[in-house]
Amino acid sequence: MSSNMIEVENISKAFLMYEKPIDRLKQFFIKDKERYSNQFWALNNVSFNIPKGTTVGIIGKNGSGKSTLLQIIVGTLTPTNGRIDVNGRIAALLELGSGFNPEFTGRENIFLNGAIMGLSEAEIKQRVPDIEAFADIGDFIDQPVKSYSSGMFVRLAFACAVNVDPDILIVDEALSVGDMQFQLKCIEKMKSFKKEGKTILFVSHDTYSIRNFCDEVIWMKNGEVHMRGDVNGVSRQYEDYMKSMLDVPAPEAEENENVDFNANTLSIDDIKFIDSNGGVTESVQFGENLKVIVDYTLYQSITGLVGGIALFDRENKYICGLNTKLDNYKLSDKPGKYKLELEYQQLKLLPGTYSIDVGFFESSGLIRLDYKARIASFTVNSAAYFAEGVAYLEHTWNNGE
């Protein structure tokens, strides 16, 4: 028996595209099937295997074929060409609740969803208490889902998906919905799946999340597997590619990130730079130490809190990103007011203006608790002209003798 949970071999998928709605009707009555339509190939000869117990990230810009690929794996789409084998029960978080009947109650939809997943009535009854507890929507469980708020709808859909004991979990940007506490509950469930050795496909535009949660990554581009490999190497190349596609200066594009993601959990209150003499500054000499102090408030207990600071130059080039998880530095998880200090030692950045992003995340890095982009900047000065570029590298010259 194969050790692969998912085997995809030369999968292609074509869709018929029509210029006008009436052309679809005309096409139905004629033999020449290409007269009123054009073929669009969403996937082109895609092949890969996913071994058991592997968490694989899938990245790619919109239109790259990610969603089509996932729907084929789940079985809601049939490939035009190719072969796919799935060994095990799949729980897919694609369009949450898309299989719910709005006229049925939440409880009735639990049984409907379980039946679709291949569970017996006895197995579903056994799981109902866990689903109810996970969804935590109270008496609404016995009300028609058409009366649910979007939050309740998402809670029930996620609860159904993750409580059917799947062998394979597929998550497509589903963690952006629901309140923060529910997101954390979902993250913990995903972590437990990973520890249990289940196979996970995690689709996200957030490469930081991919790097923190996945074992490897697949980059989809123009309906093909453009690259597959370790999360750091592939995701960094993907980031460079996406930055090269931007039509607007990145600093303006980043402004929308300065929002309070979960202000009721954590807030970034103040940021300042301290020079080697202990004074607040916005200017530092080349080669001196520079300390960044971040004041923040933690309102709720968060296990494994992660804080990070990223450094950019004036052209928005990413110079260096550091975080407490990478350096194994533990932050307090108890509510209170705190300071996070990062000291750049003997700063070898060349003269110019530099800015920082500051962010806090839960332990896996999948949820931003608060994030401030380009929140503060400082200037590096030097009277001497000794190099060009961004950073000074220690070096020696010789004539090769």
| pLDDT at site 174 | 61
Q: Where are the beta strands (DSSP E) in 131-248?
A: 168-172, 199-203, 216-221, 224-230
Whole-angstrom distance, CA of residue 139 vs CA of residue 152 = 11
H or E element in which residue 266 lies: strand 266-274
Task: Return all residues near 198 (Cβ < 8 A) that are at least 6 apart.
Answer: 53, 166, 167, 168, 169
The fold of 4-244 is Rossmann fold (3.40.50)
Would strands 199-203 and 224-230 be described as parallel, antiparallel, or unpaired? Answer: unpaired
Question: Model pTM?
Answer: 0.73
Domain ranges of the chain: 4-244, 252-381
Tens digits of residue pLDDT in 99-154:
688 899 999 999 988 888 788 899 999 999 999 999 889 999 999 998 988 778 88
- Contact criterion met (CB below 8 Å) for 158 and 53: no
- Contact criterion met (CB below 8 Å) for 350 and 388: yes
Question: In the block, which residue shows the tokens 């370790």?
Answer: 230
Find the helix packing angle between 121-135 and 150-162, rounded to 10°: 130
Q: What is the CATH number of domain 252-381?
A: 2.70.50.60
Tens digits of residue pLDDT in 9-37:
999 999 877 666 776 666 666 666 566 66
Q: How many residues would you count in the chain?
A: 401
Cβ-count burial 302-325 (b if 16+ within 10 Å, e if not): beebbbbbbbbbeebeeeeebbbb
Q: Which residues of the chain have pLDDT under 50?
A: 1, 247-260
Using DSSP, state whether 66 is helix, strand or coil: helix
